[in-house]
Amino acid sequence: MGIPKEAKIELFPKWKSGKLNKITDVPGVTVGHVTKKDGEINTGVTAILPHQGNMFKDKVMAGVSVINGFGKSAGLIQIEELGTIETPIVLTNTFGVGTATVALTKYMLKDNPDIGVDTGTVNCVVTECNDGRLNDIRGLHVTEEDVLEALNNTDTDFEEGAVGGGTGMVCLGFKGGIGSASKIVTIDNKEFTVGALVMSNFGADGNLVIGGDHVGKRIKEIRDAKRKPETKVDDYQDKGSIIMIIATDVPLSERQLKRVAKRAMISLGRVGSFCGDGSGDIAIAFTTANRMPHYSDKLILDAQLMLDDRIDIVFEAAVEAVEESIISSLYHAETVKGVRGNVYEGLRNYL
């Protein structure tokens, strides 16, 4: 349920959280996980459904921001060109992208016999981070069945931390993973939700900042005092990746959603990232309020958008939601020992 109130963490948020404090506070959005933990295997799949209908026939408007392009995701080019998403979004490890794309394609073909016959093909959206520090990534342990299970078992409530696609991820020197949060904004006297979900696998050891407090530096000093000199961790490499998904029911255009996605970089800076050379930092934003039908008798379609001069409220809420999601991913992740004996501790060991 996001970061519990009893947690010794203060982010000084401006906007109140939704009921679950998760991306699924946006009506219609659901999330599913498949988690694979077995010795040196620490990996999995996380699936996000933007709505509960037929995604191909009823697309959501979307925007993407490739903050740092050290990544191997699929489907981003068409989002950039057309401004829509027409499948669920799958998060997994780097070597699972091909498998996940095939599985997601089969998932879409099942309910859409027209794809590739009477109409074009389908743009599957699959995102990734490298979980090779804790997972036997060369073993290619993510299967099509795992992806389909995650897609077919989504819900509004879901686990955070070392689960799903985040099972083997590492963030800012700690065990990373899946985190989520939501913020409520009032526009034209009506409440809307801005939610986020991240798969965190980025950042340099010692750089973690929470609510302006450089806690990572103090924790690193404690760790380094216990480490043997030959096992000391580099304090300057920001590597890994992060996938940031922002959802909202605020009516926005694809151009505005791209602007929202760009602001996720501010969240990264707040928690201590400088978007290093080896980090793939990607944000995708979508709205459930504006849909694009695949088939339509009307050639001129109706859509709403927010006045740009007042969109700052959405920008700020999105920045806060992504920031809290990152900290939540660390807070909920337990210590994991993985491949080659590597161990990454959960943040709660030091709180």
The residues annotated with a catalytic role in the active site are 241, 279, 281
Which two three-digit tokens encode residue 351?
A: 């709180």
Decide: helix, strand or coil at residue 176.
Answer: coil
User: Are residues 24 and 156 in contact, defined by beta-carbon separation less than 8 angstroms?
Assistant: yes
End-to-end CA distance of the chain: 18
Name the nearest CA neighbour of 79 among 125, 113, 11.
125
DSSP secondary structure letters along 178-226: EEEEEEEEEETTEEEEEEEEEEEE---TT---BTTB-HHHHHHHHHHHH
Name the nearest CA neighbour of 337 among 162, 218, 202.
162
Question: CB burial class (10 A; 0-12, 13-18, 19+) of residue 69?
Answer: exposed
Residue 133 makes CB contacts below 8 A (sequence gap 6+) with: 168, 170, 338, 339, 342, 344
- How far apart CA 69 and CA 73 sit, in angstroms, is 10
Amino acid at site 306? M
Q: How far is CA 112 from the centre of its chain?
A: 27
Can you list the alpha helix ranges (DSSP code H) found in the chain? 76-82, 97-111, 144-152, 215-226, 254-262, 264-271, 312-332
User: Are residues 75 and 125 in contact, defined by beta-carbon separation less than 8 angstroms?
Assistant: yes
